Amino acid sequence: MRIPLIAGNWKMNMTCESGKKLAKAIAEGIGDTDVEIAVCCPFPMLFGIADALRGTPIRLGAQNMHWEDSGAYTGEVSAAMLTEAGTTYVILGHSERRHVFGESDEWVQKKLCKAIESELVPILCIGETLEEREQEQTENVLEKQLEMSLKSVAANNAERIVIAYEPVWAIGTGKTATPQQAAEAAEFIRSWLVNKYDNEVSEKIRILYGGSVKPDNASEIMESEEIDGALVGGASLKVEDFIGIINF
Ligand code: 13P
């Protein structure tokens, strides 16, 4: 049985003081739940949010990292820095990294390997643009992103990875993939994983959906057996909305 994961991606939306309040309010509001919960915050907030989350079941995540251990990489942050701050998850290859900051599949692959080696849990984001969907290229795009990102990841390490299917056209737009579109993409990802690894490994990997997930669409999107949770942007900034999604 895969444990569902609801991860909030706070992006660049607040400073540490408001982040701490939000983290505490979420922790107070969740009650008993079988769902794993994480909040992924900007680098300077990691230590502060780790403090706010201490003693709660909510895990800490980061939104990016570099693949090198150290060196002259101005503006970058290493895996060891994330683990020192108490980080469990790291989002890699988010579409905003790929499309706004020009991150390549090759970079994502290097980051993924380093995250695994550093015992972080990578949340690997993949997804097609609207143009690619309209040209019926969705599966080709997902396949290429999976192939490139996971090319040197062995089966025993692959089990810990979380894959987030985030169609670029659904991110921050209020347009959600239909439950059928989300399910089809997740099924495609699962069958790709079966081919690359095997059934046993594939069954352990969690596949999330991300893109305008709200409390009122969360349960229908997560109805598919292949979808094991959500990566939530905008709605993770509001306590009631995020808790509403957790209680899907
Ligand atoms: P929204 O939920 O705001 O569409 O963002 C999704 C996302 O990018 C999560 O990583």
Angle between helix 138-150 and 105-117 (nearest 10): 50
Pocket flag, ligand 1, residue 221 (CB < 6 Å): no
Report the candidate in 63, 128, 71 with the shortest Cα–Cα distance to residue 89. 63
Q: How far is the CA of 166 from the centre of ligand 1 (A)?
A: 8
The reply to whether 166 belongs to the active site is yes
Q: Does the pLDDT of residue 234 top 90, yes or no?
A: yes
% of the chain beyond a pLDDT of 90: 96
User: What confidence tens digit (pLDDT) does each residue in 28-83 have?
Assistant: 999 889 999 999 999 999 999 999 999 999 999 999 999 999 999 999 999 999 99
| All structural domains of the chain with their residue ranges | 5-246
Among 94, 103, 128, 132, the active-site one is: 94
User: What confidence tens digit (pLDDT) does each residue in 1-34 have?
Assistant: 899 999 999 999 999 999 999 999 999 999 889 9
The pLDDT assigned to 172 comes to 87
Q: Does the pLDDT of residue 148 top 90, yes or no?
A: yes
- Which residue out of 213, 221, 237 has the highest number of ligand 1 atoms within 8 Å of its CB and is therefore the one to mutate? 213
User: What confidence tens digit (pLDDT) does each residue in 184-213 have?
Assistant: 999 999 999 999 999 999 999 999 999 999
d(CA 184, CA 206): 15
Helix (H) or strand (E) holding 124: strand 121-126
Among 96, 103, 132, 166, the active-site one is: 166
Helix (H) or strand (E) holding 162: strand 162-165
For tokens 């015992």, the residue is 119
Report the candidate in 245, 241, 246 with the shortest Cα–Cα distance to residue 22. 241
Report the candidate in 208, 209, 218, 221 with the shortest Cα–Cα distance to residue 245. 218
Per CATH, the number for 5-246 is 3.20.20.70
Give the chain's end-to-end CA distance (angstroms, integer). Answer: 18
